[in-house]
């Protein structure tokens, strides 16, 4: 496993739609392992393959239960991710991004989503997420389509402008 360089704007791969994954072999497994190590090293709560300069549709998310601070964070690896259901309710929240360091923004996201995809071995998965976990998944899935939080943000600012405001980053 290796920590990969996280690409920042204006790196072109961040603005392209990532390719579907068909081969879940050794190269893909190495990519996933490296993405997990990179995510933990950053540190962040989510990472999409384009952020490490790989145009493939895979995300890793590691996030704990917001209602149980004692529980260890859960790791999700989802390839070929697709949102299949959304709540009607949306929520405005603050986001940051490892690919846009030093900035945060207010972004409206669905409060609950259901997504489907494949796990790291290529087996089908379906995940229901709400709250911050739903926000993280939406942020990472956007990366797979070349969309960044600043494209959706109602307001963007330098983090130094509001140093006491906690900012979740992917």
Which are the catalytic amino acids? 140
- 96 three-class SS: strand
For strand 155-158 and strand 90-96, is the pairing parallel, antiparallel, or unpaired? unpaired
Residue showing tokens 């952020």: 51
Answer whether 85's CB lies under 8 Å from 134's CB. Answer: no
Element (H, E) at 83: strand 74-86
- Phi, psi angle pair for 33, to nearest 5°: -60, -45
Cα 147 to Cα 114: distance, rounded to the nearest angstrom: 19
Of 20, 27, 15, 165, the residue nearest 105 (C-alpha): 165
């Amino acid at each position: 496993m290796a920590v990969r360089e996280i690409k920042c704007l204006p790196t072109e791969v961040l603005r392209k739609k990532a390719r579907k994954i068909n081969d879940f072999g050794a190269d893909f497994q190495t990519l996933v392992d490296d993405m997990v190590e990179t995510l933990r090293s950053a540190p962040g709560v989510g990472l999409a393959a384009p952020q490490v300069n790989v145009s493939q549709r895979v995300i890793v998310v590691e996030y704990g239960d917001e209602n149980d601070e004692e529980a260890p964070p859960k790791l999700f690896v989802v390839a070929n991710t697709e949102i299949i259901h959304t709540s009607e309710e949306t929520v405005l929240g603050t986001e940051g991004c490892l690919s846009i360091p030093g900035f945060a923004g207010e972004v409206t996201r669905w409060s609950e989503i259901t997504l489907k995809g494949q796990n790291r071995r290529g087996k089908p998965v379906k995940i229901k997420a709400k709250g911050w976990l739903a926000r993280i998944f939406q942020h990472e899935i956007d990366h797979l389509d070349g969309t960044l939080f600043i494209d959706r943000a109602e307001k963007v600012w330098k983090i130094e402008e509001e140093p006491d405001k906690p900012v979740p980053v992917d």
